[in-house]
């Protein structure tokens, strides 16, 4: 149930993340209260970036890209970007961790 503004932001975000991560970016998934129809006016927009060969430097660069998108859209809503290593994300899903399953199954892949 993303609003038109939410859609505009995530469609601006994905190319920025691709630019930073290149072929290491495996998936971008929007999840959380805004997707699941439970958002309050001040709710953030939750986004997961699933990457291969995770490094703290890559994470910092992706977070900076998300910040720039927020800047371009007057910080409304705030983006909450979480960067996950692809192998770990898959392993946690297989182990049955509910957060990872819910993001993968009920989030919106871009």
CB contact at 8 A, 52 and 70: no
- In CATH, the number for domain 4-109 is 3.30.460.10
Distance set, CA 97 to CA 70, 88, 103 (Å) = 30, 11, 10
The reply to whether the predicted model has a pTM over 0.85 is: yes
For residue 20, pLDDT over 90 is answered with yes
- 66-91 pLDDT, tens digit each: 999 999 999 989 999 999 999 999 99
- Extents of the domains making up the chain: 4-109
């Amino acid at each position: 149930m993303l609003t038109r503004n939410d859609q505009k932001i995530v469609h601006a975000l994905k190319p920025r993340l691709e630019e930073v991560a290149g072929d290491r970016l495996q998936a971008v998934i929007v999840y959380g209260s805004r997707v699941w129809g439970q958002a309050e006016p001040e709710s953030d927009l939750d986004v997961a970036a699933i990457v291969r060969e995770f490094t703290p430097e890559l994470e910092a660069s992706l977070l900076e890209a998300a910040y720039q998108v927020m800047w371009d859209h007057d910080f409304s809503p705030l983006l909450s970007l979480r960067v996950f290593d692809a192998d770990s994300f898959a392993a946690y899903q297989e182990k049955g961790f509910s957060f990872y399953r819910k993001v993968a199954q009920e989030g919106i892949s871009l």
